Chain A
Amino acid sequence: MALLTVENLGIDIHGIRPLDGVSFSVDKGEILGIVGESGSGKSLTALSVIGLLPLIGGRILRGSIRFDGIDLATLPEAEFRRLRGRRIAFITQNPMTSLDPVMRIGAQIDQVSMLHLGLDARAAQARSIEIMAQLRIPEAATIYHHFPHQLSGGMKQRIVIAMALAADPDLIIADEPTTALDVTIQAQIVDLLVELVRERDVALILITHDMGVVAQTCDRVVVLYAGRVAESDAVAAIFERPRHPYTRALIGCIPRDETAHGNLTGIPGAVPSVAHYPAGCRFHPRCPRRGAPCDHIVPVSAAMDGGLFACHFPENSGVAR
């Protein structure tokens, strides 16, 4: 049994239903990538798992979210509070919104271990500085007394990661943790997250729009499109033999060294907004393989060799088109 198993998740926000039948699982020591373009439902999936949907007026309609034997979908908020930050940590895209601008950095990290682990101030400080040093923050004991505005974006994101680690969580959800950073800094932070997972044996859900980051870091991948899982599989399989045409198209949008001029064409059209989801397969208006059933019959999710895909005319699966 995996540490976290999400099954058939559907949510409602003020009458619209942006997620529909999302399923995946992640285990300790494993990195699961959730990839998709804007509007695919990646961040809403994260909010569902950490129980913050009510903050944006949403609720879970159906499905289950099992974390270490507990169903998070029905967990009362009072109990969720003991879990959130303690056993499930969340890293957001913009480190500036996760840090209090008028509070010293050290005190912000201390709070986590004081609240969740019951440490006193002195022990919390020692722990915070130790974690900061592990994250290769130079002169951690000095930086501990700094305010957020005195740090660069990359350093701030390390502080947010230190806060996430302070209570020794089992699961970390990182929502586009490097999108706001420069490329060389982005590579440093991603490398750091990968090392953490391997050393501390935590489970990491990495939410990203970047197939390059997925290929370089993840063990398994969930490809979301318009609130549904298009395909999920091991990372090697996703790139070697994608079955859903959207997966292939998404990979094809990133230029590689061997991509010849004129071969980067993109995907025609745009991701539909939640108010205008097409009937049938939601990708069909943009799909090169669409056929008769695609515009009115929702493809059911099919399993094959450890992967799942939802397509009437999948590639690499012996189905003729």
Chain B
Amino acid sequence: MSGGAQNLVELRQLSKRFESRRGLFGKPRAMTAVDDVTLGIPKGRVTGVVGESGCGKSTLARLVLRLLEASSGEVVFDGMPLGQLSGGALRKLRRRMQMVFQDPYSAIDPRYNMADALLEPHRIQGIRLSRADARTVVGELLGMVGLGPQIAASFPHQLSGGQRQRIGIARALALKPDFLVLDEPTASLDVSIQAQIIALLEQLRSELGLTYLFISHDLGLVRYFCDRIVVMYLGRVVEVLPQPHAAPRHHYTRALLDSNFVPDPKRRRTIRRLTGEIPSAFDLPPGCAFAARCPRADATCRAIRPDLTQTADGHAAACHHPL
């Protein structure tokens, strides 16, 4: 499915439902944030998940690391089904999989200096370090993310956004993981800093042989950074592009591409408006969730939900009338 590479992580029919009620006495209603996602994440590669708000990409990220319990389905990490592990065994396995969050400021305790923040993973795992070892670990981690040793004594509010995200990455690397889930790691950064962080992630991946799951709303960035792209819409995978520049088959992926602002005034997009808005995940239509906005939608699309069908080249799309 992924060009011969072995899968480090496999998601099997993974779903997550949330329930809520409208007001205090309202009827309870359910929404399916992640709906029946089956996906392999190949070792040593970058798998991108792209979609707009409400598509379930951040919920998926949390399910993969079992920070959220799935409603059904399972996550298999290096052959081990996470759902069947005990708390202790799961914690041990967590050394091998870490997450980098969008907002490094809220991910770091404001009272910790950076040395404390970087040593927190060791503390949680019960790994005792001598003072000299701790200093070495902190120095190495800072060096890996391009920060100088003087940063160790500073507090989060003294750092710039880019420096804080470097700390977020360093902390994720502290226990020498194999797998990183990157949830919009550059979304709150300026473009010049975003590009620095992406370059750093590229370098770390090749040096340490890491596997990434990269979550983003920015298709341009995903197409640059990822080896393979998963497009989500309202909780479901609608397309899997086996190469980042493969031509889209799903109309939603096409619309995402058309909505991308190419930084070249000679290639101005003709205004091809995608009408309509993303429907609420609480009352999804029975057929294809994209039907209401799709230029090709017909009666079949509104009645029957298309399955994700894969062709020989690993390209998969869930569409009755693929491009």
Chain A contact residues, CB within 8 Å of chain B: 37-38, 152, 154-155, 182-188, 190-191, 194-195, 209-216, 235-236, 239, 249-257, 259, 261-262, 264-268, 270-271
Contact = CB atoms under 8 A, between A and B. Distances in A.
A32 to B, nearest CB: 14
Contact of A155 (B161, B198, B224, B277): B277
B207 to A, nearest CB: 13
Most buried by A among B53, B190, B218, B259: B190
Contacts of B271: 191, 194-195
Contact of B191 (A216, A253, A261): A253
B13 interface: no
Nearest to B186: A266
A261 B52 CA distance: 25
Contacts of B224: 255, 259, 261, 264
B60 to A, nearest CB: 17
Nearest to A36: B190
B82 interface: no
Contacts of A216: 261-262, 265, 268-269
A267 B223 CA distance: 21
B195 interface: yes
Contact of A235 (B197, B256, B258, B265): B265
B202 interface: yes
10 contacts: A187-B261, A191-B273, A194-B271, A213-B261, A215-B265, A249-B192, A254-B220, A266-B198, A267-B195, A270-B160
A194 B268 CA distance: 12
Most buried by A among B191, B195, B221: B191
A262 B207 CA distance: 13
B157 interface: no
Nearest to B252: A184
- Listed from nearest, the 7 A-B pairs whose CB atoms lie closest are A212-B261, A266-B195, A255-B224, A266-B196, A187-B259, A267-B192, A182-B52
A91 B202 CA distance: 38
Contact of B199 (A195, A210, A213, A262): A262
B221 A255 contact: yes
A266 B192 contact: yes
Contact of B245 (A214, A257, A261, A268): A257
A215 B262 contact: yes
B321 to A, nearest CB: 19
A91 to B, nearest CB: 18
A183 B265 contact: no
Nearest to B258: A187
Interface in B145-203: 160-163, 190-199, 202
Interface in B250-304: 255-256, 258-266, 268-269, 271, 273-274, 277-278
B195 A264 contact: yes
Contacts of B53: 182
Contact of A212 (B193, B260, B278): B260
B223 A255 contact: yes
Contacts of A256: 220, 262-264
Nearest to B191: A253
B264 A265 contact: no
Contact of A255 (B163, B220, B255, B256): B220
Contacts of B259: 183-184, 186-187
Given A210-B261, A216-B268, A184 B192 contact: no
A269 B198 CA distance: 15
Contacts of A265: 195-196, 199
